[in-house]
Amino acid sequence: MNHSETSNPTEPGGPTEAQRKAAAELLRRSAPIADELGRRFAAAGHELALVGGPVRDVFLGRSGNDLDLTTDAHPERVLTLVEGWADAVWKIGIEFGTVGLRKGGQQLEITTYRSESYDPKSRKPEVRYGETLEDDLVRRDFTVNAMAARLPGFELVDPFGGLRDISAKVLRTPGTPQQSFDDDPLRMMRAARFASQLGFTVAPEVVDAMTEMAGRIEIVSAERVRDELSKLICGRHPREGLELLVQTGLAAHVLPELPKLRLEIDEHHRHKDVYEHTLTVLDQAIAQEEDGPDLVLRLAALLHDVGKPKTRRHEPGGRVSFHHHEVVGASMTKARLTALRFPKDVVADVSRLVELHLRFHGYGSGEWTDSAVRRYVRDAGHLLTRLHKLTRADCTTRNRRKAQLLSRTYDDLEHRIAELAKQEEIAAVRPELDGNEIQSILGVPPGPVIGRAYKFLLDLRLDHGPIGKEAAEQALRTWARENL
């Protein structure tokens, strides 16, 4: 591919001059500090460009504090150029050609033009430095991330039609998808992640390559897979991303429990489509979120029924049972999330929610005793609010009457939990004077009088809150004069 030809502004589908000017103005407003650094590099005879996500996000109306830049300067030279300008510098990624720095409230990463690829048996990329910005852009994952803005001045460089693809909301690769995914197999996961985060569709040739090369994901570290999966699940459209993983066969390698939920349903044995049910539960759990994406809740919704394939039994009359699938599923969830290197607290919380997600169904129409309700609360612990959401999300019946009944029943359980909590909070309140102090003040032995006095002080405490021991003693003496 001739990169100079593809960057021609008159190419059909390429950015027009008006678009270039508008883009420069948008980028200038969003990243003035980048222009300042660009002048510093230019004065030293080096190229610098804003690249990738920060450029893409300007056209999507998204903002962030992190800036990715690329340059022809090698890392050691970059360190020299930012010395005295940056507030802080770190070299964690320097072996991959990246220097990190902070200026004011912004984080910047400057990476030398490069190309990288995986050996078929290696988990680490081989990094080679490139010569030009266009050579650097062609190795990027998708066209929407293969745009840059030369600094200073924010001249838009879009050799592969990224702006056009943003407008069409489609993911394509700058070169062939096979070459892109061969360079870094994690890009297949990233395609699904962008489908989730941005709501973009994935071009058919990209889907075909993902399907053909799904097994290549095995060489990528569990930690990198976990990070992409977490971003996908916490995206705005996780169903689209997950369906793409299943469709292409990637899920069979990174989350095999998910495609296994597509249980065969024959004409004699009836049960829900567990895979579709799971995605609906995920949607309904997300609809209840209040403070942004909740990774633990979403993972629990996604994995709550993973024990069903192992516990499926055919019963008389064409029924199908999944006895104890919540216990089996909790164990499977723990094993999978541990293998993906999720933090221990996330593994424990998600596994516990999977284990508890059926507990409510023993409630019936309110047959639980107060002690049973307390056990439900105790067993859920800090996960109680999430368990409420997961349990409600797990109702996917199309029978409106049944759905309304389940909802009302759970309303009743939550009301009882609130009432019991209120009672126990009241029960924990104590008057300011204990029995021994009452005896000493009134000069009477243990007996009914002390009980009556204690009740008076408790009522006083409930009515007026804390009043202090001195005021309580005065009130007690007044009560004694009037009642003894």
Average per-residue pLDDT for the chain? 87
Is the pLDDT assigned to residue 117 strictly greater than 60? no
Q: Which amino acid is present at 110?
A: I
Least confident of 202-211, 238-247, 423-432, 473-482: 423-432
pLDDT of residue 70: 95
pLDDT band at 116 (very low <50, low <70, confident <90, very high): low
Least confident of 76-80, 207-211, 214-218, 365-369: 365-369
Is the pLDDT assigned to residue 11 strictly greater than 70? no
- The closest alpha carbon to 246, from 311, 317, 189, 179, belongs to 189
In angstroms and rounded to an integer, the radius of gyration of the C-alpha atoms of the chain is: 31
Kindly state the average pLDDT of the residues 458-481: 88
For residues 48 and 383, give the distance between their C-alpha atoms in angstroms, rounded to a whole number.
Answer: 48
Task: Indicate left, alpha or beta for 137 from its phi (over 0: left) and psi (-120 to 50: alpha).
Answer: alpha
Fold for the domain defined by 273-427: Hypothetical protein af1432 (1.10.3210)
For residues 239 and 245, give the distance between their C-alpha atoms in angstroms, rounded to a whole number.
Answer: 10
Domain ranges in the chain are 1-164, 169-255, 273-427, 435-483
The model's pLDDT over 342-378, given as tens digits with 9 standing for 90+, comes to 999 999 999 999 999 998 887 777 778 887 888 888 8
For residues 371 and 369, give the distance between their C-alpha atoms in angstroms, rounded to a whole number.
Answer: 5
pLDDT of residue 428: 76
Fold for the domain defined by 1-164: Beta Polymerase; domain 2 (3.30.460)
pLDDT of residue 14: 63
| Residues whose CB falls within 8 Å of the CB of residue 163, separated by 6 or more in sequence, listed in order | 14, 15, 19, 23, 59, 147, 156
* Other Cβ atoms within 10 Å of 57 Cβ, number: 16
pLDDT of residue 462: 73
* Other Cβ atoms within 10 Å of 341 Cβ, number: 14
Tokens 């309580």, residue located: 472
pLDDT of residue 235: 95
pLDDT of residue 127: 66
3-state secondary structure of 216: helix
Looking at domain 169-255, its CATH class is mainly alpha
For residues 352 and 367, give the distance between their C-alpha atoms in angstroms, rounded to a whole number.
Answer: 24
pLDDT of residue 341: 97
For residues 383 and 389, give the distance between their C-alpha atoms in angstroms, rounded to a whole number.
Answer: 10
pLDDT of residue 183: 86
pTM, entire model = 0.79
What is the C-alpha end-to-end distance of the chain, expressed in Å? 103
